[in-house]
Structure 1
């Protein structure tokens, strides 16, 4: 089957260098240290080249993580509207995070990932809060994604591999692709092979490695608004994250984040960007 090469530890280090070098705070000494790091071995040099190319590709990714120049001091406010929103968020949180697991063959809880090998040899990686069922037959290999997101690495087989996730069906042929179920229909990222949504072909995404880095426990983003970053982070932890004002939501952040430590992002934001985070049951308010 096609193989989606995961980011290695060395690649993670190379990406960390890219975060620093593009943060606006890198010094000449940092630049020199990076050059020395690149020269440690051919593997280091290759990881650096791949990270530089990947970083150039992820300016528009919807995944997310931290590092940007420190903003100017800002007056902290907690409008009454935020308090009202907090009450509504807590009241609705249980229904908001429910996943239809009882009728699914496989499912993951919030913050969990699971790798499944199917009977045909295809491999599926379920993202946080996801659920799917299998409906294989003699004529097709159908997977129903009932919630969340999954990465599919399809094995060679005469039967088509079809993913139903609301809207048009997604079909992959000896492909590596992710499907995320949204209210508007499936969102598809193709890394290798061929895929179609209905009758429309899907192009291989230049930033597929970044967009599917969650399967290795990473979120990667470059210049994404804080509001989108926190919206993405909500998928990997219990409860809601609210922001107190639109200006703060537009703050651009970049970096690489470890999904196995979701609380670390909020702590880093609080320490680096002159933020305050108020924690309530099932709710964090950033202001």
Structure 2
């Protein structure tokens, strides 16, 4: 999606609808910057047709939780809008599915990998044990001088075997050394040391007081204690297909506590509905919490 520098020629309404959908996906992704919001306002002002497409897409986003039984019989013009909105919702689901598939690409090229919702235990050539979390991938590159593994995606828990060669975990270009230690490393840079000694670069990593909770996924559990809902949903998204979005960003700060079963990720969403008065609308490859 690009922002034109001059007033474009008239675009078909379907193209404008697709562009408006792209904007909603970006603006509600949690990664939109102030510059993105400014660009969106300029896009809306390009023409009355742009403004109308934006209003329709925004209305769909706000209305996405409404069920068919809650809707009254509409006038012909309203029915046409609803037909367009249904197509837009389907396009949103396809975009999310495509994005999710693209994200998984690095996984299949690694030495070891797990699908979403899967965990796998691996014993390396030196005797070290590795447990891969959901949607994770690991590449092994042992040499005579060091034992190096690369986290291509996701997260892994390491129980390193005794060996004169250093044990190095490369995560997004950052080296974690933990010979004779038990620790987990995530692709996003998080390191949780359960026992032993580990370093990130030249910095020593302290043993995590809540290591048991942070690595509860190895026991098939997720544990949250006053965590913001936005973080909880981002974590849950790692264990199931598709995306989980918040329709109201104000809900992201809602504090959530509990112990949840990873083998039933949908149960966490049901608990959120029951315990916190939230609602979840399910679309193909997409769940919207509101």
Report if the CA contact (8 A) 2:137-2:154 is conserved.
Answer: yes
1:194 corresponds in structure 2 to 197
CA distance in 2, matches of 1:254, 1:153: 29
Give the TM-score normalised by the residue count of structure 2: 0.67
Structure having the larger proportion of residues in helix: 2
CA distance in 2, matches of 1:89, 1:167: 33
Counterpart of 1:205 in 2: which secondary structure? coil
- Alpha-carbon deviations, 1:179-218, whole Å to 9, x = none? 0002xxx221111111111111111111111101111111
Among candidates 162, 165, 170, match of residue 168 of structure 2: 162
Counting matched residue pairs gives: 207
Task: Tell me which structure has the larger Cα radius of gyration.
Answer: 2
2:132 corresponds in structure 1 to 126
Counterpart of 1:234 in 2: which secondary structure? helix
Report if the CA contact (8 A) 1:150-1:179 is conserved.
Answer: yes
Deviation at 1:81, TM superposition (A): 3.8
Q: Does 1:175 align with 2:181?
A: yes
Deviation at 1:178, TM superposition (A): 0.5
1:264 corresponds in structure 2 to 267
CA distance in 1, matches of 2:59, 2:184: 39
For structure 1, the residue ranges without an aligned partner over 5 or more in a row are: 1-77
Aligned positions of 1:61-210 closer than 5 A: 80-82=60-62, 87-88=91-92, 90-96=94-100, 97-182=103-188, 186-210=189-213
CA RMSD of aligned residues (A): 1.9
Give the TM-score normalised by the residue count of structure 1: 0.68
Counterpart of 1:100 in 2: which secondary structure? helix
Report if the CA contact (8 A) 2:194-2:211 is conserved.
Answer: yes
Deviation at 1:103, TM superposition (A): 2.3
Among candidates 225, 236, 252, match of residue 249 of structure 1: 252
Distance 1:121 1:113, change over 3 A: same
Deviation at 1:167, TM superposition (A): 2.7
Indicate the structure whose relative CO is greater, using CA pairs within 8 Å and at least 6 residues apart.
1
